[in-house]
Each structure stands twice: as C-alpha cells, then as structure tokens.
Amino acid sequence: MICITLPDGSERRYEQPVSVQQVAVDIGPGLAKAALAARVDQRLVDLQYVLDRDARLSLITARDEDGLEILRHSCAHLLAMAVKELYPTAQVTIGPVIENGFYYDFAYERPFTPEDLETIEKRMHELATTDYPISRRELPRDQAITYFETLGEHYKAKLIGEIPAGETLSLYRQGDFEDLCRGPHVPGTGRLQAFKLTKVAGAYWRGDAKNAALQRIYGTCWASTKELKAYLTRLEEAGKRDHRKLGAQLDLFHFEDTAPGSVFWHPKGWTLFQNLLGYMRKRQDEAGYVEINTPDVMDRSLWETSGHWFNYRENMFTTTTEDERIFALKPMNCPGAVALFARGLKSYRELPLRMAEFGKVHRYEPSGALHGLLRVRHFTQDDAHIFCTLQQMREECTRTIELVFAIYRDFGFNDVSVKLSTRPESRIGSDETWDLLEGALYGALKRLGIDYRLNPGEGAFYGPKLEFVLRDAIGRDWQCGTLQVDLNLPERFDVHYIDEQGERQRPVMLHRALFGSLERFIGILIEQYSGDFPLWLTPQQAVVLNISEGQSDYAHKVVKALKGAGLRASADLRNEKIGYKIREHTLQKVPYLLVIGEKEKENATVAVRTRRGEALGTMPLETLLERLQLEARLPCAASEAATC
C-alpha cells in the first residue's frame, strides 16, 4: 500500500501508483478543479506526477504563493508560444518569473512595437481559451541540444550546452510549442486568464552588454481578473507618483552622464535630505548613540582584513597612487567603525557603545540597474555599529528592532514585515559562531512577538541579518532597514574590551541601518507621499504671495516672522496675477500659500490657503505662526507622544 499524508495529518492509501490529480479528485471535486500543482515531500511537481511510494502531499492553488508563481511561469510560456506563432523567425531565450509578473527575452530581426504587444496579448488570450493541455517529458542533455538546434532555437541550445553532460532535462509542451523548463506548470493553458503585457525593453544575452542584443517583453499575471485590475490601478498610481518625475517637477535633484548613479541635489532636495538627517540625529541621540565619521578612501589592506576585497571586489571603486598603494572608496562603513573602536582599550563599562555614522559609500552598480534615487552608485547610509558583550547582544537586538518600528511609524509605514536571512554558503566564521548570532535574532523577534519570514542562505558573508520591508500607500513593498549580528569582523580585526576580571574579551558587533540609503529612502518617501510631504519634512513650508506691489514690504515682514519662528518660507513678489502664482505654487506642493492684499496689510493678517485648495480664511499672523510651529514639530511614535 502507498500511504499519502495530507497537510491536516489525514492519510489516503492506494494499492498502486497514483497521480497527484487523482488524489485531488479523491479529496473533492472543488479542490481538484482549483489545484494547479503540488508539493511532494517539499518538491514542487505537476498534477500529472505519479506517486509510487509513501509521501507527504500538499496541493497548490492560485491562492498560494507557489501557485501564483506557477501561474506566472506558465504565462511566460504562453507569451513565448504566441510570439512563435505570430513571428516564427523569433528565437526564444529565457523567461523567468519576477516580482508581480514575468518576462521573456527574444531574438528578433526588428523591434517589437506597442501594436505588436497588443497583437501578442490578443493571441495569448485565444490560446488560453483553447485550453491546450500542458504535458511534460524528459530528454538527455545531448538529445535536447540536437532537438532545439533542429528547431532553429540556437539560444536555447546554448543554454542547454552549459548544463553538465549526462543530465536529463525536462521539456513542457502545449499545442505545437515546446520549451525547456524544470516546471512545474499549470495543467492547461485555460488556467491562465488574468494577465496583461505591460512593456517591451532592451536586454542582452546572459545580461552581458558584450553579447547580442535581445528584446524583453514584460507581463503580469494574477489569480483573478479582480486582482489584475487592482494591480494595474496600482501601476497607474505608481506612474503618477514616480519620484523621478516628481523630483524634476519639485526641483529636488537631477542626474547627469558625467557622474552616472550619483545625485545632484538642488537646494530644495538638499533641504529635504538635511531634514531627514536632523530627524535621525534626534532619534539616535535619544536612543544613546554617538555620531562618528570615518574616511571615504582607505588602503586595500583594510578591505582584505575585513574580507570585502575577496567577497565584494567587483562592486568596489579602486585607485592606485604613484607610490603604487592601492586604495578603495568605501562600499561599506563597517571597517572604519572597527578601526575607530580599536583606538585605545575599551572597558566593559563603556559597552554597549553605539556609534552612528552618516557615511558616504560607493558601489559599482551595472548601468542597466541604475534607477533614479532607488538604485545609485554613490549614497549615504544612516549606519550604526553597536559594540556590546555577548550578554548584551539580545537586548541590543531588541532595542534596535523597537527603534526601527518606531521610526517607520513616524513616516506612516505601519505595515512592516521582517525577513530573517541565515548563513550563506560563502561565509566567514565557524558554525558555532553562526548558531550564536542567529539565535540572538531569533530570540529578539520572539521576545517582541514579531512574525518573520525565513530566508535560508541569504545572510551577509560575515553574519545573519534582519531585513525590514515597508508596505507603502499603494501596496508596494520596499526593503529598507537591516540589522546584522557579527562576531567575525571583531575577530578578523582582533579587537577587544576588558571585562570585570581584567581579561580581554571579544565584543559582538551589530551593523544597523534604519533608512538604509538616505537617497533611496527619499525616493520612497516622494512616492509614498506623492510629493505632498508632511510639514516638518517639506523643503518649503510656506510662501507669501502679494496681490500688488503695495504689499511687498509687508510680505517681507511676514517672511521674516515665519523664519524667526523656525519655519522655511519665502515670498513671491513677481508682477503676476495672484491666480497664476497660486496655481504655480500649488503644483510645487507648497503646504501653505499666504495671500496678502491691502486689507491683510492693514490688519496684520494673512489669507491662508493649502496646497489641496482649501481656503482656511484670514487669520492674525501670530495665530498662523502658532499653528505652523505646532504642525512642523518633528514627529514621534505614538508610544512616545506624551514626552516628545
């Protein structure tokens, strides 16, 4: 008898081998209809997979995370099938699942146009309606190479040629189209209904600009039409909030080819940047941090000691001086912080020592990966390195996690998830050390009652880490802050502290960033607020608009009073109609527009409008100052509101 154990612990027994599909039918017709694939003893398989021994079985539907990925992968094959039918000379290359969708790269003699995408998508829907069954077969590697060469699919043959000889490969067929794939796939094309092609872009074979140019068609696929429409609505809203467009509209920053991946901050953008720095300095001061600063350029030997030279070299900018010394622009702040800690002996009484640094770091990112403020080569990290004892490690992890959540709440991010990334294959340090460090993070999360997602093997080469993921106002996720626990760098740099018995002990080093990159966090904030920043953060808090030249002197007095109250304000005294000036500054998203005419001048008042077009009426200048000062205070988490 073959015993199949289901997720609820119940068992089903069969006298002979049975397919996953048949087990689903036995459980119930509803589940059989909804099932897309299955997990057998942790292995993902198709519904046609035959169970010939005892196993644990979990059926996968479109509501499962794995199910959505299978839908998207199957949709990539549907895209390739449609392209091959419409453009037979096109060659298929690779078509992976990506966040919220999929893409497929094609080699074709001319660029695909938006009209082509419409035609391809229409054909995809026709193929889905036909509901071609999807079947799997296996071929030895060399036979698979010959097969795809015969079809004229030379890129696919090259891919297979990179697989070790003797391997058996799986192929999936739907109608007359067959593609190399490890699977699994949905049982038929009819399961693919809620999808849309979104754009076409350039790409290179194997992602290398030295190779042949390809065309990449992107698409999205969802479990239902309702979810697809919701995603497309989010996509449309994201386009309106694009930080690159808003950055230009609000005159915050720009980029140039003379410094690819580096930001040119305009006065308003730099004010926004400094506002964030001021906020974080206040937060860190209250949490017991001291601020430091370390050099941007350091000798190669430091990076060899830290391990970055051997694990991160391809992402580092380096230079060689006339005396043949090799230096590197720092890609991370950690080694500088260790060097500073190592200066002079430290006592256990000085620990925990929380050293914060707004350090400029430089990382070589491929040109194709650069994306406005969200992916740059030169950026500022709100780094901190906490040196503590083993006994203090879990408490410091707990304090840091609490600070992270409190800060995100201040910016309106109340939906925060946590990923715990554990030891990677390429790492430094013993398994015993990694057990200790991972245990500290597990323990802190458990103590705070915070759920987390485990990412096995995704830790840094020197220690495990927590990643904090924010969900923004339109439902997108952003990975921002990190917390890493490290005993390896203190060991590599041989740093110590003196304990109660006068003995040398190795400190634990916590690496912590809350915003992550200030540049990236500003890009996220621009899109989170759609440029409508809260008053404390916005670069310009108020602008004074005169109706005629006769109110110029009074306008200057109002601006002086606003600045004297600690507010950021200016006057627009141009000889333009007041309606024009109001529209212009509304588009600039200035929170408060203060209009003054002769009546306001005589009564020492201002007529107040908001950027949303609300008329708040006329009020005495002193009343306005009190209101704006209260609103412009730095935020604090709800739990600290009474004392902030």
Question: Where does the pLDDT of residue 292 fall: very low under 50, low under 70, confident under 90, or very high at 90 and above?
Answer: very high
Please give the Cα distance from 463 to 306 (Å, whole number).
13
What's the confidence (pLDDT) of residue 367? 78
Q: Would you say 371 is a known binding-site residue?
A: no
Q: Would you say 308 is a known binding-site residue?
A: no
What's the confidence (pLDDT) of residue 638? 39
Could you write out the DSSP letters of every residue in 343-379? SS--BGGG-SEEEEEEEEEE----GGG-BTTTB-SEE
Question: Where does the pLDDT of residue 643 fall: very low under 50, low under 70, confident under 90, or very high at 90 and above?
Answer: very low
CA proximity to 511, closest of 492, 484, 488, 489:
484
Mean pLDDT for the stretch of residues 18-25: 94
What's the confidence (pLDDT) of residue 165? 86
Question: Where does the pLDDT of residue 18 fall: very low under 50, low under 70, confident under 90, or very high at 90 and above?
Answer: very high
Please give the structure tokens belonging to residue 333: 């702040």
Q: Which residues are catalytic?
A: 334, 363, 381, 383, 385, 465, 511
Hey, how many other C-beta atoms are within 10 angstroms of the C-beta on 365? 15
Which pLDDT tens digit goes with each residue over 144-192?
999 999 999 999 999 999 988 888 899 999 999 999 998 899 999 999 9
Which pLDDT tens digit goes with each residue over 384-414?
999 999 999 999 999 999 999 999 999 999 9
Per-residue pLDDT for 641 more than 60? no
Report yes or no: 292 and 387 within 8 Å, Cβ to Cβ.
no
Question: Average pLDDT, whole number, for the chain?
Answer: 92
Q: Would you say 511 is a known binding-site residue?
A: yes
Question: Where does the pLDDT of residue 434 fall: very low under 50, low under 70, confident under 90, or very high at 90 and above?
Answer: confident
Largest CA distance in the chain: 98
- Which domains are seen in the chain, by residue range? 2-60 (3.10.20.30), 65-240 (3.30.980.10), 257-294+333-529 (3.30.930.10), 542-631 (3.40.50.800)
515 alpha carbon, distance to own chain's centre: 12
Residue type at position 613: G
Point out the least confidently predicted range of 274-283, 303-312, 497-506: 303-312
Which pLDDT tens digit goes with each residue over 506-519?
999 999 999 989 99
Please give the structure tokens belonging to residue 280: 């974080």
Per-residue pLDDT for 644 more than 70? no
47 alpha carbon, distance to own chain's centre: 34
Question: Where does the pLDDT of residue 642 fall: very low under 50, low under 70, confident under 90, or very high at 90 and above?
Answer: very low
Burial class (CB in 10 A: 0-12, 13-18, 19+), 29: exposed
Residues of the chain above pLDDT 90, percent: 82
Per-residue pLDDT for 313 more than 90? no
What's the confidence (pLDDT) of residue 432? 86
Report yes or no: 387 and 351 within 8 Å, Cβ to Cβ.
yes
Could you write out the DSSP letters of every residue in 23-63? HHHHH-HHHHHH--EEEETTEEE-TT-EE-S-EEEEEE-TT
